[in-house]
Structure 1
């Protein structure tokens, strides 16, 4: 195979270019492989951390479940009050139903208001100047002077 020295030089040059590109590609592949290894390691660390966190959350939930199961019972007086409260709510619910549905006013009249509310009104009347309603003013007690 006798060939022309000029052709041999061209082929040799082309061979060198191909070898250079091969080395370049091998280096790129190697760097990508290293990056992939790093990403994989980071991903495994993140996965391990998530597994530990999930295990801790599961353990916390189990502890809460156990605490709820072994919850101390309330004092009988408290249970009695709670039972009476809910019985009162169920008893008065029909009267309040229209109000809750937005179709009426609350079923509370002046007679049913709390004694504290009446006392406050009386105290306000005693402190405010008497209004002329055709009646003489109320006498003041000595303790108020």
Structure 2
């Protein structure tokens, strides 16, 4: 008799737990659908914002280039860059003086590549000793 009552009690608890699990499963389904809708809405919103930003950039770029003074300044800038690129290239490769050095100035040195001991503040490496 006791075992039968215990069995009935266990079956009752099992039924309760199954109902709770089913309820939780339904909640998770609803939550998942809600998140999917929110995600899709965010994706559409982001796409719309990107398109709007692209339109603004295109309009700004068009206005920027249409002004004759700006075009003239930009053209002169790139011409000066092209004229001085060889001097700077020689200097940066260590083959020539600094492009802005005048006749009375001491020549400048090119910056060392990053990762050398001097850039990291380390002492020089010791010289290898010969065996006696």
TM-score exceeds 0.5: yes
1:25 lines up with 2:10 in the alignment:
no
Larger Rg: 1
Q: Number of residues paired by the alignment?
A: 100
Residue equivalent to 1:98? 90
Residue equivalent to 2:38? 49
Of residues 53, 66, 87 in structure 2, which corresponds to 1:64? 53
Residue equivalent to 2:76? 84
Secondary structure of 2:13's counterpart equals helix
**After superposition, what is the alpha-carbon deviation per residue over 1:65-97, rounded to whole angstroms, capped at 9, x for unaligned?**
223334324311111110110111011101001
Asked if the contact 2:87–2:99 (Cα under 8 Å) also holds between the matched residues in 1, the reply is yes
**After superposition, what is the alpha-carbon deviation per residue over 1:100-131, rounded to whole angstroms, capped at 9, x for unaligned?**
346665221337xxxxxxxxxxxxxxxxxxxx
Compare relative contact order (CA 8 Å, sep 6+) and give the higher one, 1 or 2: 2
TM-score (norm 2): 0.63
Structure 2 CA distance, aligned partners of 1:104 and 1:94?
10
**Where do 5+ consecutive residues of structure 1 fail to align?**
1-11, 112-145
